[in-house]
Amino acid sequence: MYIGTRAFEDCTGITSITIPASVTEIGWYAFSGCTDITKITIATGLESIGDSAFSGCTSLTSINIPSSVTSISEYAFIYCTGITSITIPSSVKSVGKWAFYDWTSRQTINVPWSSGNKPESWHYDWDITGAKIVYKK
């Protein structure tokens, strides 16, 4: 199952989303600009997060990325300024450019490798951000 491109773009009034295990892909801009969303729960089964899927979700404070996800596309979480911490599971094999653009030093991105061992398939500027990067020990 697929959540289509721009399916909920710029929707207001949605504060919480639960994505069931039957959804394997979130399309481009699916929830982009949904400024009222505070929490997204994703069941194991999702494999791909599309370009700008959650861009501009400024009230979003909580999202889990399940271990079934293998791809996070470009700009996926750009301008998600309300998230304080996100953990990327080791199943993620590729992350597109500027996936976390405009994150600040009060935000943390937990990554599944030790310092200096970034996977080659992660775009070289995925982390153009002020966020704190925490490496797996």
Cβ neighbours of residue 18 closer than 8 Å, sequence gap 6 or more: 40, 41, 42, 43
Q: Does domain 1-137 have CATH number 3.90.420.10?
A: no
| Average pLDDT rounded to a whole number, residues 73-97 | 93
Whole-number percent of the chain with pLDDT over 90: 67
Quote the pLDDT of residue 131. 81
| Integer Cα distance of 119 and 32 in angstroms | 27
- pLDDT at position 75 is 95
Mean pLDDT within 41-57 = 97
Confidence of residue 119 (pLDDT cuts 50, 70, 90): confident
- Judged by average pLDDT, the poorest of 26-40, 64-78, 111-125 is 111-125
Cβ neighbours around 64 below 10 Å, total: 15
Please, what's the b/e burial string for 114-129 (b: 16 or more CB within 10 A of its CB; e: otherwise)?
eeeebeeebbeebbeb
Nearest-angstrom CA–CA distance, 54 and 76: 6
Q: How confident is the model at residue 127 (pLDDT cuts 50, 70, 90)?
A: low
Whether 137 shows a pLDDT value over 80: the answer reads no
